[in-house]
Amino acid sequence: MWDYTDKVKDHFLHPRNIGEVENPDGVGEVGSLACGDALRLTFKLDANKRISEAKFKTFGCASAIASSSALTELIKGMTLEEAEKVTNKNIADYLGGLPEAKMHCSVMGREALQAAIAYYKGIKPEQKKMLEGKIVCECFGVTEKEIRDAVKINHLTTVEEVTNYTKAGGGCGKCKDDIAVLIKKVFLEAAEEAENESKPTPFDMLTNIQKIKQVADLLDQDIRPTLQRDGGDLELVDLDDNIIYIKLRGACSGCIGAASTMKDFIEKKIKARLSPKLKVKEI
């Protein structure tokens, strides 16, 4: 028998926001009946681009129903930017916690929310899955990105924990070695990043005006030409506390690969050339 909190029991026995929003702005579907859990989330935005209505339909256990109900309550009133930052931990914490073996239900809620936001942005489900990288767990269709995100957000250290949070490795078990390698990679990358960020660099000694000029020069010389070849462009908006604010233009604006472009191309090059402490944010 699972040890559920009173709030989990309440949201299971009296779930909020069941059903489907009429003419939704966002639609997210994750899981499958074959895997034992499925969730469909719909939401609608008001005139101020805040989530005014959110509803769900789910097939699953008490934790899945409670997590879905909690998610809809959490995101109402949020902007999409705020909703994008909601993690599975936020859902579990809202419920007062979930049994370890049921944490995948909160992860499913987060994934449904991400899928619904992607839908609003015009990204099709198959395109979103493609951007998440290769599938590691064939039994449950769990991608490398989904495992990495679960490890980072929840500080997972074992394959068993990853299975509890994502179901990956809970089928035939052939992917367990790959999951173990991914866990090690995530922690090595985090340790390397922390070490790099603790070291002073010549860039740190510059004035803010000098920093902005160096960033602008790098964008103009090494990054903008690559984007322009594919019909895209960017604009440097500001630099504040090691965060570079950039607006994507042309074909890059609204592109399904925009997030990957920002993180894997623009930010990666800036970190390598100027300072590992710098981060890039799209506005």
The answer to whether residues 146 and 111 touch, using CB atoms and an 8 Å cutoff, is yes
Q: Confidence band (pLDDT; 50, 70, 90) for 81?
A: confident
Q: How far apart are CA 94 and CA 88, in angstroms?
A: 10
Identify whether residues 68 and 153 lie together within a single domain.
Answer: no
Q: Which of 61, 105, 172, 175 is catalytic?
A: 105
Q: Tens digit of pLDDT for each residue in 86-104?
A: 999 999 999 999 998 899 9
Identify whether residues 194 and 208 lie together within a single domain.
Answer: no
Is 127 part of any domain? no
Cα–Cα–Cα angle for 242, 243, 244, rounded to 5 degrees: 115
Is 176 part of any domain? yes
In the residue annotation, 172 being an active-site residue is answered as no
Stretch 123-149: mean pLDDT: 78
Distances (CA, A) of 21 to 42, 45, 68, 119, 134: 6, 11, 14, 14, 32
In the residue annotation, 175 being an active-site residue is answered as no
Q: How far apart are CA 3 and CA 70, in angstroms?
A: 18
Q: Which of 35, 137, 252, 255 is catalytic?
A: 35
Identify whether residues 72 and 173 lie together within a single domain.
Answer: no
Q: Tens digit of pLDDT for each residue in 16-47?
A: 999 999 999 999 998 866 666 889 999 999 99
Q: How far apart are CA 42 and CA 72, in angstroms?
A: 9
Distances (CA, A) of 99 to 4, 60, 111, 173, 219: 7, 15, 19, 22, 47
Is 36 part of any domain? yes
- Of the residues 172, 198, 224, the one at which a domain ends: 198
Q: How far apart are CA 201 and CA 265, in angstroms?
A: 21
In this structure, which amino acid lies at residue 190? A
Q: Tens digit of pLDDT for each residue in 55-65?
A: 999 988 899 99
The answer to whether residues 240 and 212 touch, using CB atoms and an 8 Å cutoff, is no
Domain carrying residue 55 = 1-121
Q: How far apart are CA 116 and CA 159, in angstroms?
A: 28
Is 126 part of any domain? no
Helix (H) or strand (E) holding 237: strand 232-240
Q: Confidence band (pLDDT; 50, 70, 90) for 186?
A: very high
Is 224 part of any domain? yes
The answer to whether residues 42 and 112 touch, using CB atoms and an 8 Å cutoff, is no
> Strand 232-240's sheet: what is its strand order?
232-240, 243-250, 279-282
Is 175 part of any domain? yes
Q: Tens digit of pLDDT for each residue in 203-248?
A: 989 999 999 999 999 999 999 998 898 888 989 999 998 899 999 8
